[in-house]
Structure 1
Amino acid sequence: MKHIEGVLFDLDGTLIDSEHFYFSSWQPILAANFDLTITFEDWLTLFAGHTLVRNIHFLKQNWGIETTEEFMWKETRAAYARADMRTISLMPFAKEILENLRAAGQRIGLVTSSYQTTVDTVLGHHGLLDFFEFFVTREKVVHAKPNPEPYLLAIEKMEIPAEKLVAVEDTATGLRAAQDAGLRSIAASRFAAERAKLQTATYVVESLVDVDKILL
C-alpha cells in the first residue's frame, strides 16, 4: 500500500484474541440472570465490536431484557477479573507486524472501544505498549465506534492527513467508523462470516500476516 505514513490498529479481535474471552464471561451472566443462552457465533455476529451501552440496548430490543449499565459493568468486570485478562493471547503475528512497522518507520496508534485498563493489562502483559504513540480508548471519546469520533481523534493526534493513514479492523462496526473518518482500511478476520460483512474495506484478508504483506 503506497503513500502510507501511519497505521491505526483496532485492539479486540485484531491484535488480541479476546472475543472468546469476552463470550465466556458474558454467557454465564446472561444465562444466570436472564435465562438467555447465546453461542460464540451469536457473540461474533451480534455483540463483538460494540460498547457495553449498545449491547445492553440490544438485549432489551431483541429479548426484552431489562438491565442497567451499572449492573452489567459490575458483573462483567468481576467475570473478567476472575478469568484474568492477562490470559488473553495475541493474535498470530501481532508482535511481528508491530516490529516490522516500527522498523520501516511507520507511526502506529491504537483505536479501541475498550478502556485504558484493558489496554494496559493485556498489551502491558505482552510488552507491546511502547509500540504505540497513543491510545484512543472508550473513555477518551463521547461516541464510540461505529461513530467516526475515535478515528477522527486519532487523525488529529497523528497530525497526518487521513489519506496517508490506514485503519486495521476486524468488525463491521470498526470498519464503518474508519471509513466515515475518511480512512483507507484493511479488514482482517479468520472468520469467513465476518469477512463477508467487511467487503467494503480497501482490502479484506484473513490474518495479520496478510496485512503485513499489504503494508510493507
Structure 2
Amino acid sequence: MKKYILFDHDGVLVDTEYWYYRAGERALAEIGVRLDLDQYLRDMAHGLGTWHQAKAAGVDEQTIARQRRMRDALYEEYLRTESIAIDGVVDALADLVKVARLAIVTTSRRSDFDLIHSEDAITRFMDFILVRDDYVHAKPHPEPYLTALARFGASPTEALVVEDSARGLRSAVAAGIDCAVVDNAFTATQDFSQATYRIGALRDLKNLILGSS
C-alpha cells in the first residue's frame, strides 16, 4: 500500500487553472497579444507559461514584467470572487488521511496559496506544503517531488502523486513516482499516456490506495 500521497494543488484540490489562464489572457489583451488557449496548454506541459507567447510576439521584458504584475493582481481578484471549490475534496482527504500521510506540492506562489486557503479545511490534512518558493526547479523537473520525498524520508515506491496536468505528470515520472491523473476538463486534451492510473475524482483514490498493497 502507498504510504504517502503527494497532491498537486491547482486543478486537483481547487478549481483554479482556468482563472490563472484568464488572468494572463486579460493582461496580454491589454497590450494587443492574444493568448491562444491550445498553445498555452501545450506550453504549460513543457514548463512554459503565459509569457512564452508574448515573447514570441516580440514583447520586451520590461513590458512583460509590467503585465505580469497585472496578471497576478487579476488572478488574486479571481481567487477572492470566483467559486474555486471542488465538490468532495474535503471528504476524500478526510478518508485518505486515515490510510496515508498527505502533502501538497504546488507551483503556486505562497501569497496565492495562502489567499486560497485562508478559510478552508484542506490544509489541516497535510503533513506539509511545498510552494514555488520551496524549490529551485519547477515542474516538469523532478525536484519538487524529490523534495517532498526527502521531507517524508520516503522512497519513490512508497509514494503516489496526484496530478491533473502533463507538466505535473512528467515531474512525477522523472522522480520515479507512480502518478494518478484526476480528470480536469481544462487539461483534458493533454498527453497522460505515462500515467499509472486515471481517476474521475479524488473519492476514487481511497480504493486505489488500499488496492495497491
Distance 1:21 1:49, change over 3 A: farther
Question: Is 2:192 aligned against 1:194?
Answer: no
- For residues 103 and 16 of structure 2, the distance between their equivalents in structure 1, rounded to whole angstroms, comes to 19
Map 1:125-140 → 2, pairs under 5 A: 125-140=119-134
Counterpart secondary structure, 2:103: strand
* Contact residue 146 and residue 176 of structure 1 kept, 8 A: yes
Map 1:41-56 → 2, pairs under 5 A: 43=40, 45-46=41-42, 48=44, 54-55=48-49
Question: Is 2:106 aligned against 1:108?
Answer: no
- For residues 167 and 80 of structure 1, the distance between their equivalents in structure 2, rounded to whole angstroms, comes to 26
Map 1:62-141 → 2, pairs under 5 A: 62-68=56-62, 70-85=65-80, 87-104=82-99, 106-141=100-135
Shift, 1:12, TM fit: 0.5
**Cα deviation digits, residues 155-184 of structure 1 (max 9, x gap):** 000111110100000011000101111101
Shift, 1:142, TM fit: 0.8
- For residues 190 and 42 of structure 2, the distance between their equivalents in structure 1, rounded to whole angstroms, comes to 15
Counterpart secondary structure, 1:7: strand
Distance 1:47 1:125, change over 3 A: farther
* Contact residue 110 and residue 131 of structure 2 kept, 8 A: yes
What percentage of residue pairs aligned between the two structures are identical? 25
In structure 1, list runs of 5 or more residues that go unmatched.
none
Alignment match, 2:27: 29
Alignment match, 2:157: 163
Shift, 1:71, TM fit: 2.1
Counterpart amino acid of 2:177? Answer: L
Distance 1:124 1:50, change over 3 A: farther
Q: Which moved more, 1:6-15 or 1:203-212?
A: 203-212
Shift, 1:132, TM fit: 0.9
- For residues 196 and 80 of structure 1, the distance between their equivalents in structure 2, rounded to whole angstroms, comes to 23
* Contact residue 195 and residue 204 of structure 1 kept, 8 A: no
Map 1:3-14 → 2, pairs under 5 A: 3-14=1-12
- For residues 129 and 70 of structure 2, the distance between their equivalents in structure 1, rounded to whole angstroms, comes to 26
Counterpart amino acid of 1:114? Answer: S
* Aligned-CA RMSD value: 2.5
Counterpart amino acid of 1:137? Answer: V
TM-score (norm 2): 0.86
Distance 1:193 1:167, change over 3 A: closer
Distance 1:214 1:167, change over 3 A: same
- For residues 177 and 100 of structure 1, the distance between their equivalents in structure 2, rounded to whole angstroms, comes to 26
Shift, 1:33, TM fit: 1.2
- For residues 29 and 73 of structure 1, the distance between their equivalents in structure 2, rounded to whole angstroms, comes to 7
Counterpart amino acid of 2:77? Answer: R
Counterpart secondary structure, 1:124: coil
